[in-house]
Homo-oligomer: A and B are copies of this chain.
Amino acid sequence: MPADSDLIALGREIRTRRKARNLSQEALAELAGLHRNYVGLLERGERNPSATTLFQLARALDIRLAELVGGL
């Protein structure tokens, strides 16, 4: 799987987890301490988040990092 498809797949996982929590992209970004547009960029696979950002997202979603990337 070429790199960009990794990030697209990761973005899809983030979106699935976010929707499962009925959070908007802006609400998740705020909870995770990220810029309000960043979650949308991540979900479209347009950004390559750091491990720390992934930990922040998992915490904001109240799940473990392993769950956030569970399907990958």
Contacts and interface: CB of A to CB of B under 8 A. Distances in A.
A52 interface: yes
A22 interface: no
B52 A51 contact: no
Contact of A7 (B10, B51, B72): B51
27 contacts: A3-B52, A3-B55, A6-B51, A6-B52, A6-B55, A7-B51, A7-B52, A10-B51, A48-B50, A48-B51, A48-B52, A49-B50, A49-B51, A50-B50, A50-B51, A51-B51, A51-B54, A55-B72, A64-B72, A65-B69, A65-B72, A66-B66, A66-B69, A66-B70, A66-B71, A66-B72, A69-B69
